[in-house]
């Protein structure tokens, strides 16, 4: 490097530029110059002569020009200062700031409710609630408890008259959020399993062996921070890994007024707790017949739990005849039968894959609740809740059931 250029840089660093008119005085100076320019212009208009062009006209033009420049500079300084103050306030005291050491649990849980373009987000003191809704007949809720985050802070806006503060509620595009989590460190379990199936030299040890260049092997720690500044701000996802920080902002939308599908807890007809894998296998037995609807029947006698799928290709049944062995908890008031759209129930299969147990409940109105227990790394647990509205019983459905006499096959009795 040239020594003379280096000396120039050092000299410039020691003598910073200072404007002739300070930032705090630019507005006053600009206003005075504009006022003098307007007065001088009026004087020149009343006494127009060649002498006044140089004595009054040119100074008036210069005063107006400099006054306008200083006014613009003063307004720009004020706006930039106010914006900096706004950003500082929202960054230092956001409504939500949650830090997670891994995006994998977040991605796995939220992917289970990825059946709606947008998802409702509600921020509470205990965690973040994500709710997806489809035509008010199917609902999926994923609750990210604050225990899933290494740091979780909520600053709710104060309410008036001593009432409890209103919980922030907004919508975000779920597919975009999942894509961000997947790009920045989330592990797609299904893709990894499919890749392992295609590997002819795989082994049980190799399937679970970490990659040589993974963050776990290299000892590199990464963090995922969720930030929501204030109402109307973007929902920010900040990923910091190996000293590199990447920020993505998701647009927030005004939430739709949608109530949860009601489940009458005082009128529960049955409650069954079983392994979620058994429920997934039952749906897999019924899927080949491409059923339009799925009928669920519970009874005090064998078969205790029965699934029947009916469609254009025929019907298929799966009965839990030995329910005492496969059903951990079985409580029933009386025989209960309801039908649901099979595609809606199928949307919960991802939750069945990652969950350990599932609780099935049905009330007197026919609302079906599937609550999944998911074990997270580190001995933590989380829950996924799905609710479904049944088909309305009518004469057309009864006629359809009478005409559908083709039985393609029945599943095994479990």
- Reported as a single tens digit per residue, the pLDDT across 6-33 is 565 555 555 555 666 666 677 787 778 8
413 assigned to some structural domain: no
Length of the chain: 414
Q: 119 and 234: one domain?
A: yes
Residue 302: other Cβ atoms inside 10 A: 14
Q: 63 and 139: one domain?
A: no
408 assigned to some structural domain: no
The confidence score (pLDDT) of residue 23 equals 66
322 assigned to some structural domain: yes
Tell me the pLDDT tens digit for each residue of 305-338.
999 999 888 899 999 877 666 788 889 999 999 9
411 assigned to some structural domain: no
Q: 317 and 223: one domain?
A: no
Residues β-bridged to residue 330: 272
Q: 275 and 399: one domain?
A: yes
Mean pLDDT of the 151-160 span: 86
Torsions phi, psi for 47 (to 5 deg): -130, 75
Quote the CA–CA distance of 104 and 324 in Å, as a whole number: 36
The confidence score (pLDDT) of residue 15 equals 57
- The sign one gets for the Cα dihedral 25, 27, 30, 35 is negative
257 assigned to some structural domain: no
Greater model confidence, 82 or 136: 136
Q: 68 and 211: one domain?
A: no
Q: 299 and 233: one domain?
A: no
Q: From 92, 114, 137, give the residue that closes a domain.
A: 92
284 assigned to some structural domain: yes
Greater model confidence, 63 or 346: 346
409 assigned to some structural domain: no
Q: 191 and 155: one domain?
A: yes
Residue 102: other Cβ atoms inside 10 A: 21
pTM for this prediction: 0.68
What is the extent of the structural domain holding 28?
3-92
Asked if the model's pLDDT at residue 169 lies above 80, the reply is yes
Q: 244 and 104: one domain?
A: yes
Q: 130 and 47: one domain?
A: no
Q: From 92, 125, 146, give the residue that closes a domain.
A: 92
CA distances from 305 to 33, 203, 322, 400 (A): 88, 37, 9, 23
Confidence bin at 74 (pLDDT 50/70/90): low
Tell me the pLDDT tens digit for each residue of 181-237.
887 654 434 444 444 444 444 444 444 444 554 544 444 457 889 999 999 999 999
Q: How many domains does the chain have?
A: 3
Quote the CA–CA distance of 200 and 181 in Å, as a whole number: 30
Asked if the model's pLDDT at residue 409 lies above 70, the reply is no
The confidence score (pLDDT) of residue 5 equals 57
The confidence score (pLDDT) of residue 391 equals 93
Q: 68 and 107: one domain?
A: no
The confidence score (pLDDT) of residue 73 equals 72
Q: Which residues of 368-401 are buried (b: 16+ CB within 10 A; e: fewer)?
A: bbbbbebebeeeeebbbbbbbbbbeeeeeeeeee
Q: 108 and 88: one domain?
A: no
**CA-derived radius of gyration, the chain:** 33
The confidence score (pLDDT) of residue 281 equals 94
Quote the CA–CA distance of 102 and 311 in Å, as a whole number: 43
Q: From 222, 250, 278, give the residue that closes a domain.
A: 250
Q: 72 and 186: one domain?
A: no
218 assigned to some structural domain: yes
User: What CATH number is attached to the domain comprising 333?
Assistant: 3.70.10.10
């Amino acid at each position: 490097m040239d020594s003379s250029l280096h000396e120039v840089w050092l000299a410039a660093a020691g003598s910073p530029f200072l404007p002739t008119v300070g930032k705090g005085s630019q507005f006053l100076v600009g206003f005075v110059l504009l006022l003098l320019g307007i007065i001088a212009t009026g004087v020149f208009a009343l006494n127009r002569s060649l002498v006044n062009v140089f004595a009054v006209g040119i100074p008036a033009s210069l005063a107006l020009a400099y006054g306008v420049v200083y006014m613009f500079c003063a307004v720009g300084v004020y706006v930039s200062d106010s914006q900096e103050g706004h950003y500082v306030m929202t960054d230092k005291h956001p409504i939500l700031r949650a830090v997670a050491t891994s995006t994998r649990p977040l991605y796995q849980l939220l992917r289970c409710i990825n059946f709606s373009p947008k998802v409702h987000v509600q921020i509470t003191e205990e965690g973040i609630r994500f709710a997806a809704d489809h035509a008010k007949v199917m609902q999926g809720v994923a609750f990210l408890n604050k225990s899933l985050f290494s740091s979780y802070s909520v600053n709710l806006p104060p309410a008036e008259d001593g009432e409890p503060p209103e919980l922030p509620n907004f919508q975000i595009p779920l597919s975009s959020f999942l894509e961000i989590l997947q790009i920045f460190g989330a592990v797609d379990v299904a893709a990894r399993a499919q890749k392992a199936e295609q590997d002819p030299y795989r082994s049980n040890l190799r399937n679970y062996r970490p990659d040589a260049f993974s963050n776990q092997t290299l000892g590199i720690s990464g963090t995922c921070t969720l930030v929501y500044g204030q109402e109307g701000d973007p929902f920010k996802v900040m990923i910091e890994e190996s000293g590199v920080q990447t920020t993505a902002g998701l647009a927030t939308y005004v939430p739709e007024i949608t109530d949860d599908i009601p489940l009458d807890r005082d009128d529960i007809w049955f409650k069954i707790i079983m392994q979620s894998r058994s429920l997934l296998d039952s749906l897999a037995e019924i899927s080949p017949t491409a059923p339009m609807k799925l009928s669920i029947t519970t009874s005090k006698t064998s078969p205790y739990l029965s699934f029947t799928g009916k469609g254009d290709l025929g019907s298929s049944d799966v009965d839990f005849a030995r329910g005492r062995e496969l059903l951990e908890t079985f409580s029933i008031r009386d025989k209960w039968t309801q039908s649901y759209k099979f595609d809606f129930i199928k949307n919960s299969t991802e939750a069945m894959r990652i969950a350990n147990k599932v609780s099935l409940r049905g009330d007197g109105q026919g609302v079906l609740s599937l609550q999944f227990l998911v074990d997270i790394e580190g001995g933590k647990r989380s829950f996924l809740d799905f609710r479904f509205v049944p088909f309305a019983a009518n004469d057309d459905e009864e006629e359809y059931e009478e005409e559908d006499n083709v039985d393609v096959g029945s599943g095994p009795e479990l």
